[in-house]
Amino acid sequence: MTALHFFLFTLFTVSVHAHNITEILNQFPEYSVFNSYLSQTKLADEINSRETITVLALPNGAMSAVVDKHPLSVIKNVLSLHVLLDYFDGTKLHKISDGTTTSTTLYQTTGNAHGNVGSVNITDLKGGKVGFGSAIPNSPLASTYTKSVKQIQYNISVLEVSAPIIAPGILTAPAPSGDFNITGALEKAGCKTFASLLVRSGVLKTYQTAIEKGLTIFAPNDEAFKGAKVPDLSELSSADVVSLLQYHAIPSYTPIGTLKTKKDPISTLATNGASKSWKKKR
């Protein structure tokens, strides 16, 4: 699975975040499969980078319906539908206005969700049950709220649900293409100078090779190259330019949530020693 993350920056700063979904679920072995796949799909990093979020955890038995039949890319899509971009605890679930509401999920942020495919319908059912299903009209409420697992109030809530929430078409969605256009994405984000340097120096090939195992790019935008303290790139040797560009990439998929937790220098594609590692500004 292709994994790429890039950041646009002039100054890089980080702060401490308030939760770690992997550590939370490690306390509950009944969710070990769910927890493992959150890590394998990198969804754990996305969850840790966000605030005001609800994770609908599936017990090990319920996970088999997804993991036994589908590739990792599909599993990621399904699990991302179980991450609500809002805070719900047991009390709030039973106090939904008009008895039903919809919530946007992490799947909606991927760009693969069309219409309401990335949203979940939450309905307060008779008998004290709360049902979950796709927000697509006429979709069944095949999953129900079972119990509360863990809350850090108004930050993250983990709730157990009985069965996977399946949106129409999500099980047959195509796997992401491995031919990610790095320079195209950089240019679109306002990093044309950086993209041009990658091409001219040949470092683009290094990035493309690294992307298969995960890549994080710290991409200066065009304005950053105009700063008073930025060296004249035309005066740098070819080797120095290559080293500079390699220094701006980490050979792993590392979202901002993970970067916030790191205390030691971070190895880059240019790492040959401490001078080639990122150090966080505190």
Task: Give the chain as a 3 state SS string.
Answer: CCCEEEEEECCCECCCCCCCHHHHHHCCHHHHHHHHHHHHCCHHHHHHCCCCEEEEECCHHHHHHHHCCCCHHHHHHHHHCCEECCCCCHHHHCCCHHHEEEEEEHHHHHCCCCCCCCEEEEEECHHHCEEEEECCCCCCCCEEEEEEEEEECCCEEEEEECCCCCCCCHHHCCCCCCCCCHHHHHHHCCCHHHHHHHHHHCHHHHHHHHHHHCEEEEEECHHHHHCCCCCCHHHCCHHHHHHHHHHCEECCCCCHHHHCCCCCCEECCCCCCHHHEECCEC
Judge whether residue 118 has pLDDT over 80: yes
Burial label, 277 (beta-carbon count in 10 A; 0-12, 13-18, 19+): middle
Residue range 45-54, pLDDT digits in tens:
899 988 899 9
Which among 144, 172, 200 is the end of a domain? 172
Domain of 227 in residue numbering reads as 182-278
The answer on 202 and 167 residing in a single domain is no
* pLDDT range class, residue 275, cuts 50, 70, 90: very low
Decide if 11 is inside a domain: no
Whether residues 106 and 231 share a domain: the answer is no
The answer to the question of residue 8 being in a domain is no
Q: How confident is the model at residue 258 (pLDDT cuts 50, 70, 90)?
A: low
**For position 87, what pLDDT does the model report?**
95
Q: Is residue 254's pLDDT more than 90?
A: no
pLDDT at 198: 95
Q: Are both 65 and 197 inside the same structural domain? A: no
Question: Domain check: are 204 and 79 in the same one?
Answer: no
Q: Do 36 and 148 reside in the same domain of the chain? A: yes
2 assigned to some structural domain: no
Q: Domain boundary residue among 172, 206, 225?
A: 172
Question: Would you say residue 271 lies in a domain?
Answer: yes
Are 89 and 202 within one domain? no
Lowest mean pLDDT among 119-128, 134-143, 223-232, 238-247: 223-232
Domain's final residue, options 172, 192, 226: 172
> Angle 51-56-58 (CA atoms, 0-180°, nearest 5)?
140
26 and 77 both lie in a single domain: yes
32 has pLDDT over 50: yes
Residue 232 has a pLDDT of 86
pTM score over 0.85 = no
Q: Are 165 and 215 in a shared domain?
A: no
| In a shared domain, residues 203 and 112 | no
Comparing 16-25, 55-64, 86-95, 189-198, which segment has the lowest mean pLDDT? 16-25
How many domains are contained in the chain? 2
Asked if residue 280 has pLDDT above 80, the reply is: no
Do 208 and 116 reside in the same domain of the chain?
no
Asked if the structure places residue 65 within a domain, the reply is yes
Beta pairing partners, 157: 54, 151
12 part of a folded domain: no
Residue 264 belongs to some domain of the structure: yes
Indicate which CATH number applies to the domain containing 221.
Answer: 2.30.180.10
Instruction: For residues 255 and 224, state if they share a domain.
Output: yes
Which of 196 and 172 is assigned the larger pLDDT?
A: 196
Q: Which range among 4-18, 191-205, 262-276 shows the weakest confidence by mean pLDDT?
A: 4-18
Q: Determine the pLDDT at residue 179.
A: 61
What tokens appear for 119 in the block? 């949203």
Asked if residue 194 and residue 161 are part of one domain, the reply reads no
pLDDT band at 12 (very low <50, low <70, confident <90, very high): very low
Identify whether 6 is part of a domain. no
